[in-house]
Structure 1
Amino acid sequence: MMFNNFSKNGWSDEAPVPTLTAEQNFIWLLREDIRGKALVNAPSGRRRFLAWWALNQRKEYPKASDLTDAQITYLTTPMANAGVGSTPPLTHLMIGVWELLDHIRSRFDLHSEEGRTDLFDWYCLTAVSELGLDRYLSADQRRYLADPVALVGDTGLPVTRAMLSLWRFRKDVRGAFDLGRPDGLRAFLSWVLVYGFKECPILTLYCDEEFKRALKTAGRGLAHGLEPLDSLATALWHAREELQLHFPLNSLDGRHAYLAWHRNEGQRAYGQDVLFELAQTPPPQARTAAAPRRALTPGVNLIGFARGELGIGEDVRMAAKACAAVGIPFTVYDTPPGPTHRQADRRLDAYITTEAPHAVNVFCLTGFDTARTYVEHPNLFESRYNIGYWPWELPDWPASWASAYDIVDEIWVSTRYTQEAFALTAPVPVLLMPMAVAGTPARAYRRADFGLPEGRFLFLFTFDWNSYVARKNPGACIDAFQAAFPPGGAAGVGLVLKVMGGRDDDPRWRALLARVAADPRILVLHGTLDRNAVLGLATLCDAVISLHRSEGFGRTLAEAMLLGKPTIATDHSGNTDFCTPETCALVPGRLVPVQPGEYPWGEGMMWAEPDVGQAALAMRRLVSDHAHRELIARAGQRLVATRHDPCAVGLRYKRRIEALLSRLARQSGDSRAS
């Protein structure tokens, strides 16, 4: 018979594949390695993803929900025509595991009946236990494996399909016992009872109550009229010569002694005791219910990279500063950003807690990381009003991520640009909440502290390589600097590139280093600085530049303005809320498409390509025109100090939080009354 649902491109099956849960969809979106193996808009891709979830969820996302009942039913159902001829039925999960694991796919050729049978045997005898798939054994599968098979001879006990799988799977066993002969069949069954269950404990999952009762029946071939032995005791005695010598069963004393030994020691020594405690497959574990918690209190749980030394970590720290400035009760829930960023900022340690006691959550994270937090800490979202304080650098929220809206009740944004982006599609309120900007270095720094030259007008560009280098666009800063001050010309200027996250295995990083090495006026400071040093570096430079293609907010520009530094910036995106013609040297740009790989989920959207020639003119003017430099620096400082003052920002927070808490209290009262 043709095995016609398998092709070189994979498996096809008409059975409808259940949809993914929100958690599953988030993980698929977040994990590029998973997306490459499972295109969930195709049934075969969803099957592979559900198989991946069965294999990995408990290990990688232990707090996430297990597969749904519908998904488990689908995975444990045989595929159409997946068992043909003498091939055992292959379930969707078996096929999904085969598709996911390269070493298994190369081992079993599913074009052949032998390969399909081998896959079935491997799955039932190895994968179920080693890969933790026992909870996905259906009752039908267990019944199928527990059913006896018709073989020659009368053994007194049934040989089950599971035992036959073991015989096929183990070459040494297959070579030792000829199941086509009655004596070979009896010897195989004896081996199973004495050694098989001990060497392959998973067999106990495939033994039903009928087989268990049969184990208690009298053995064969013993002297008539003496106390009968059950099948296990009989098989063991016949298999071990030392037992035959020590316990002569043709005498009453010998038989009594053997029975006592077998009951007290022998069953355990030879692994037969497990057969009287046949393993039961635990049901799939649903998400653990949250422990009863005390009543939530008025206030805010700020959730973010509290100790992370990166821009978005500063978002949660400034949100805390704004709350503290106006007396909003708050705690901080730290969600570490991962190994790519240092986590040594301790300013919020006094507020960090593993609890989230307040009624309102504010996630100072990207929408992507809020979704990751939803999977990793689902109880954090329950029974609270959830606000996503989300940055975003493009003009629209990607359609693939529309489900992220479902886990928040409203969205706060720091700029009008980001507000417009979310408002296009968000089904929840999108409120403008400018971020707080604060900070001066705790001590005075010198240029020598950073290896910077004296007597030069220094431009500073600060960025994180992990914030997508195409967006930050350092090459444009170099182009503009060298166009403004050609190499070999003016020596009284310099460009400082403060960057963290560059990797030697990244050819773009190596190319950048090679390029700046040819111009001694350009200096690269690579590494993570603490907060004071970051601010101190800005105070030592004469101007700050950012020729980004897009910014959600532009914190380094705002901080430079607050420190009284003149700035040059692309006239596009979130920074234009405070980078105005009066406060900043704005560089025009033309809109260009985001190229594949330049920004996550950015394909089809647009951002700005700054005019390098205009940027060069702005750089020259800042160096030569002291009055212009002072004018925009003072205007920028006044604007940021007013609009982004922690107290002013905190008052906006407070008005909104108080309105929400009042509404939640009314809703709670209405609920109790009803």
Structure 2
Amino acid sequence: MSRLKISYSLTRRASQSRIASAYIDILGADHDVTGSQDTADIVIVHHPPRNYETVYALHPALKDRYVISCCVPHAEDVPSQWQRNLERVQEVWTPSEFCRKALERYHSNVVVMPYVVERDMTISEEARAGVARMIGFSPDLVYFLAVGPLDEPRKNIPELVRTFTRVSASMPNARLIVKSNWYDVPRWNQHHQVIFLPLQMPFDYVSALYELSTVYVSAHHAEGWGLAISDAMLFGKPVIATNYSGNCEYMTAENAFPVRYTDGEVANIPAPGIAVEPGMRWAQPDSEHLAELLLHLYSSHGDAGVKNKVRCASEDLRRFDRRAVADIVRERIHEITQ
């Protein structure tokens, strides 16, 4: 296959920029990745399809290009604005079967393009020591970690905090660490076992949080992929997470501790979150089951069965390492050009 000119426009959102950078590296091994959308053979737009009207107005040549939208639904449907904008593109890439099912209602050519599961795990001594001071680290304590912004209700962090505090008396040596954005304000009563970190941290400081934690927890309503969950698995941490949505692309009962759920509905609130609208469907995790799993991992995180799940997670994630995803990307680009 001859080298193509591929334009890649990426979002500024940190987590998606990280994924986009991996795709760009993979594409650049075989093709010329260019910034020019007007002269490219293939244009990849790694943005939520909210403002494609503006993009196409700025670049009229796009109407004659093969345009791929990289986007991630956060519920079982997509916003009406997305529906209109997806009509403009020739193909859609999305990371999981959960996302594909939401998008294929509005586009006939949706391809599951998994995320590259990798992370620079280098941690400076300064970062490790700084994070240890922030959380008051003690080897005698059990640290549950949750990472996510409070302004995205789908992360469901307040419910996780409520569930944790409800059973905290039975876990006196447990701490729940909530890492969120600098502008977030806690929506729960202060509790001495909850460590709230509304901070912009350097990358290796966040890595130190993963390293020093004991268990990762996600009580989400929905995830397109669940990058923090797969990151925790890379760090060899047991994972408790809602058994629903994009994280089920790699998370199973054999490699994690899935939380049961019932069908739920996005609440009619002013800011339901990115890519969701009131009335859409997502999961309502079972808080009683979540509590059971918190108590179980509190007392059994070092047991052989837990360690076996961690080993399984490490093996299962190899399906999404750079080499595996590169093969999927190359095959798809080849199919497009045939």
Tell me which residue corresponds to 1:649: 325
Q: Which runs of 4+ in 1 moved over 3 A?
A: 321-324, 353-358, 369-375, 398-401, 444-448
Tell me which residue corresponds to 1:612: 287
Aligned counterparts of 2:22 and 2:53: Cα–Cα separation in 1:
22
Pick one of 289, 293, 304 that aligns with 2:10. Answer: 304
Tell me which residue corresponds to 1:631: 308
Specify the code of the residue in structure 2 equivalent to 1:314. R
Aligned counterparts of 1:501 and 1:379: Cα–Cα separation in 2:
39
1:379 CA displacement: 4.2
Aligned counterparts of 1:380 and 1:442: Cα–Cα separation in 2:
43
Is the partner of 1:636 in helix, strand or coil? helix
Tell me which residue corresponds to 1:362: 44
Aligned counterparts of 1:580 and 1:539: Cα–Cα separation in 2:
22
Which segments of 5 or more consecutive residues in structure 1 lack a partner in the other structure?
1-295, 333-352, 504-508, 664-674
Specify the code of the residue in structure 2 equivalent to 1:360. I
Aligned counterparts of 1:300 and 1:611: Cα–Cα separation in 2:
45
1:432 CA displacement: 1.2
**CA-to-partner distance for each residue in 1:369-388, whole Å, 9 max, x for gaps?**
5555445x334725321111
Identity of counterpart residues, as a percentage? 20
Tell me which residue corresponds to 1:78: none
1:314 CA displacement: 2.1
TM-score, length-scaled by structure 2:
0.88
Tell me which residue corresponds to 1:114: none
Tell me which residue corresponds to 1:320: 24
* Change over 3 Å in CA distance of 1:601–1:309 after alignment to 2: closer
Is the partner of 2:237 in helix, strand or coil? coil
Aligned counterparts of 1:643 and 1:356: Cα–Cα separation in 2:
35
Specify the code of the residue in structure 1 equivalent to 2:99. T
Pick one of 325, 335, 338 that aligns with 1:659. Answer: 335
Contact 2:211/2:235 (<8 A) preserved: yes
Aligned counterparts of 1:320 and 1:593: Cα–Cα separation in 2:
36
Tell me which residue corresponds to 2:223: 551
Is the partner of 1:461 in helix, strand or coil? strand
- Whether 1:571 and 2:255 are equivalent positions in the alignment is no
Contact 2:38/2:62 (<8 A) preserved: no
Contact 2:77/2:281 (<8 A) preserved: no
Q: Which has the higher strand share?
A: 2
- Whether 1:329 and 2:31 are equivalent positions in the alignment is yes
Aligned counterparts of 1:330 and 1:566: Cα–Cα separation in 2:
40
**CA-to-partner distance for each residue in 1:36-88, whole Å, 9 max, x for gaps?**
xxxxxxxxxxxxxxxxxxxxxxxxxxxxxxxxxxxxxxxxxxxxxxxxxxxxx
Q: Which has the higher helix share?
A: 1
Aligned counterparts of 1:501 and 1:309: Cα–Cα separation in 2:
15
* Change over 3 Å in CA distance of 1:502–1:369 after alignment to 2: farther
Contact 1:302/1:330 (<8 A) preserved: no
Which segments of 5 or more consecutive residues in structure 2 lack a partner in the other structure?
none
Aligned counterparts of 2:280 and 2:171: Cα–Cα separation in 1:
39
- Structure with higher Rg: it is 1
**CA-to-partner distance for each residue in 1:226-272, whole Å, 9 max, x for gaps?**
xxxxxxxxxxxxxxxxxxxxxxxxxxxxxxxxxxxxxxxxxxxxxxx
Pick one of 175, 192, 203 that aligns with 1:531. Answer: 203
Aligned counterparts of 2:18 and 2:52: Cα–Cα separation in 1:
16
Is the partner of 1:494 in helix, strand or coil? strand
**CA-to-partner distance for each residue in 1:130-180, whole Å, 9 max, x for gaps?**
xxxxxxxxxxxxxxxxxxxxxxxxxxxxxxxxxxxxxxxxxxxxxxxxxxx
Tell me which residue corresponds to 1:442: 122
RMSD across aligned C-alpha pairs, in angstroms?
2.4
1:535 CA displacement: 2.2
* Change over 3 Å in CA distance of 1:370–1:449 after alignment to 2: farther
Specify the code of the residue in structure 2 equivalent to 1:435. Y
Contact 1:457/1:492 (<8 A) preserved: yes
Aligned counterparts of 1:618 and 1:380: Cα–Cα separation in 2:
54
Specify the code of the residue in structure 2 equivalent to 1:635. C
Aligned counterparts of 1:415 and 1:606: Cα–Cα separation in 2:
17
Aligned counterparts of 1:393 and 1:371: Cα–Cα separation in 2:
22
Contact 2:78/2:102 (<8 A) preserved: yes
Is the partner of 2:41 in helix, strand or coil? strand
Aligned counterparts of 1:406 and 1:425: Cα–Cα separation in 2:
8
1:355 CA displacement: 6.4
* Change over 3 Å in CA distance of 1:436–1:316 after alignment to 2: same
Specify the code of the residue in structure 2 equivalent to 1:316. A
Tell me which residue corresponds to 2:109: 429
**CA-to-partner distance for each residue in 1:292-341, whole Å, 9 max, x for gaps?**
xxxx9604322112xx35222222123224435xx232436xxxxxxxxx
Contact 2:27/2:33 (<8 A) preserved: no
1:420 CA displacement: 0.8
* Change over 3 Å in CA distance of 1:493–1:370 after alignment to 2: farther
* Change over 3 Å in CA distance of 1:402–1:630 after alignment to 2: same
- Trace 1:148-547 onto structure 2 (pairs within 5 A): 298-305=4-11, 308=12, 310-323=14-27, 327-331=29-33, 353=35, 358-375=40-57, 377-379=58-60, 381-426=62-107, 428-445=108-125, 448-450=129-131, 451-452=134-135, 453-455=137-139, 456-466=141-151, 468=152, 470-486=153-169, 490-503=171-184, 509-512=185-188, 515=189, 517=190, 519-547=191-219
Is the partner of 1:565 in helix, strand or coil? coil
Is the partner of 1:431 in helix, strand or coil? strand
Is the partner of 2:148 in helix, strand or coil? strand
